[in-house]
Structures are given as structure tokens and as C-alpha cells.
Chains A and B, each alone.
Chain A
Amino acid sequence: SQELEQSPQSLIVQEGKNLTINCTSSKTLYGLYWYKQKYGEGLIFLMMLQKGGEEKSHEKITAKLDEKKQQSSLHITASQPSHAGIYLCGGRTNDYKLSFGAGTTVTVRA
């Protein structure tokens, strides 16, 4: 089955600094989803990318999907305490089933 690798597993960033999370698939992705999760709670949908080279932004969060549609990055600019949480990528391959990465835990220090 398809596997999504997320890196790093966790990161600590100073408030106001930028951070980047990566998500890599061994297969071509036909839909790439980014979610945010507070510990012990549900997933909040952030963005979906479908086309190679696509880039979307919402407030200070930008997500990109590479041209080969096998790698995505999530970039947060000038991080704030509200950005703390677990970020998960989910991806669909040719069978359109949705698989998830293990998540990246983000800690923002004041």
C-alpha cells in the first residue's frame, strides 16, 4: 500500500520564525491534503493540492506540490503560538484511497 513519509517528525521553532514540513510519496499523488490536529482532537482541513506545481496559501501557511506530484511542502511564515499542533499530510494515489503520514509535531516557543 502507498506510504507517505513526513519530515521532520517534530520541530521546535521560535515565535516569529519560519518553518517547513515535507511530505513524500513513493507513488504519484492525485490529491494531497494537509490537516492540522490539536493533541487528542480531530483533524482540521487546511488545504488540498491536485496539480503538479500547484501552490496555495491561506494566511501565513503555504503548501506546494512538486511537478512530479510526489512531494509536498507546508511552509509557515512568522510562526505564532496558534500554529502549534500536529500537521498531517494525506494523499490519494491511483486507486484514490486516502493514506496519511505519521504527522509532524510543531512547538512554537515564545
Chain B
Amino acid sequence: ETGVTQTPRHLVMGMTNKKSLKCEQHLGHNAMYWYKQSAKKPLELMFVYSLEERVENNSVPSRFSPECPNSSHLFLHLHTLQPEDSALYLCASSQAASGRGGRTDTQYFGPGTRLTVL
């Protein structure tokens, strides 16, 4: 497996369910990101992790809970979501985290998880 992988690719859940999205990067990077992509809107950065430490939380509701157990894995735990949370959730990784040390590292993206909340 190469690059950035995400599972599941599609997820349908009820508002009372608890589910998790998984991301794995095979690039040896130190930073990982969660983005939300809704129709007709620019990508929204949700969380940034650098060396397993959360360095940014862009005012994301607490029903989204990230976890980064090591520099290769990133999870997004979901609970009591709302229909407006339906979107494509993208994971990305880069050599270093954006905004730290003035780096301009390229972010590489996974294929995304299409989430539908009923």
C-alpha cells in the first residue's frame, strides 16, 4: 500500500450512531490533517496533528473527536452527528505541519470517506 489510504470509503450512519474514520499514511510524514469537503464549498481544515500532537483545532464541534496514536495513523471518531455533517472527509499528510517553522511542504491526500448522516 502506498500514499495515503482511508477507510471506509463510504459510510451511512444515523444521528445516534458512533463510528470512526481511519487514515493511514505510508510516506514517512510527520504531520496529518482532517478536512471536510461539502458541496460547492472550499475545503475546510478541521484538525492538524504534528508528531502525534494536535496543533490545530479549527472550532470543530465536539461530536468530532480526532485521535493520532502514531505518526502514521489518524482517526476521526464520530458521534451524534447531524445531517449537515454529511460530506466528503479527506485526510492528508505532509513532511511537517503547516504553520510551523515556515515550511511549505506539500500535502498529499487520501481518497476520502463519503459520509451520509440520516
Q: Which residues of B contact A98 (CB under 8 A)?
A: 45, 98, 107
> Chain B 104-117, CB within 8 Å of chain A: the 1/0 string?
10111111101000
Check A97 against B106 for contact (C-beta < 8 Å).
Answer: no
How many A-B contacts are there with CB distance less than 8 Å?
55
Q: In the complex, A25→B42 CA distance in Å? A: 14
What class of interface size applies to chain B in its complex with A? 20 to 34
CA distance in complex: A101, B43 (Å): 8
Residues of B within 8 A of A102 (CB): 40-42
User: B residues bordering A, Cβ < 8 Å?
Assistant: 4, 6, 40-43, 45, 88, 90, 92, 98-100, 102-104, 106-112, 114
Point out residues on A near B: beta carbons under 8 Å. 4, 30-31, 33, 35, 40-45, 48, 50, 88, 90, 92, 95-103
